[in-house]
Structure 1
């Protein structure tokens, strides 16, 4: 994983609720993690400011990645779908942020029905900052 000194540790999120891994021919090619929201999370803060809700009402989508050779075939969509379904089962709204410069991810989230709710300045691990977009997945509509 580019830019990550210890990929295994990076994948083991300290606030993990659950993770899903995409396999192709038994090879891990992607992953996404649902995490407990923390008050300091940019996405959590933006959602709380917008709704007046609590961190107990939300979960944060984190660590969505795919091997570049496996992009464009729908695997990211399936990972996100599994995560959203689990969040619904545990009664949580999914929020997350993405770097504004990550055009492919922004396009994926816009296509997936996520609603952009804020723009924030994201603090990167090396002390730099950059613009990020905060999204929320709306609650699924039940057929009635």
Structure 2
């Protein structure tokens, strides 16, 4: 099971410069060197409902398969204002533990389904068996080990 740690969020703007030109995965164009973009605030993208959104860190590998590819250690923006729909990745409380899974409806039952085929799906047979805490809207992964972990400290709620 993937475990989810709930994190505190700094709610002040996080300003970055947006590159106006898409960054190709091939060879860059020398003509694009002089372009600059406008400033964007990551909070407006990651936290469209700031009072109903939290960050959570994933612990485990049940969601590291396709299509979500959410690796161990990733940060997720989780929006509680959105109504969970089948196909959404959600954070749920199951038997007192948080987990992240894809919500699916099969026949008359809902399921919490991992994207990694090495883990088993969980059928929700009773309304109190699982509570959906929010819909995962964004995933932030780290490509340079250790930097994100140094700046975001988790705490249990």
TM-score, shorter chain, exceeding 0.5: no
**TM-score, normalized by length of structure 2?**
0.24
**TM-score, normalized by length of structure 1?**
0.25
Between Structure 1 and Structure 2, which shows a larger proportion of helix residues? 1
Structure of higher RCO (CA pairs closer than 8 Å, 6+ residues apart): 2
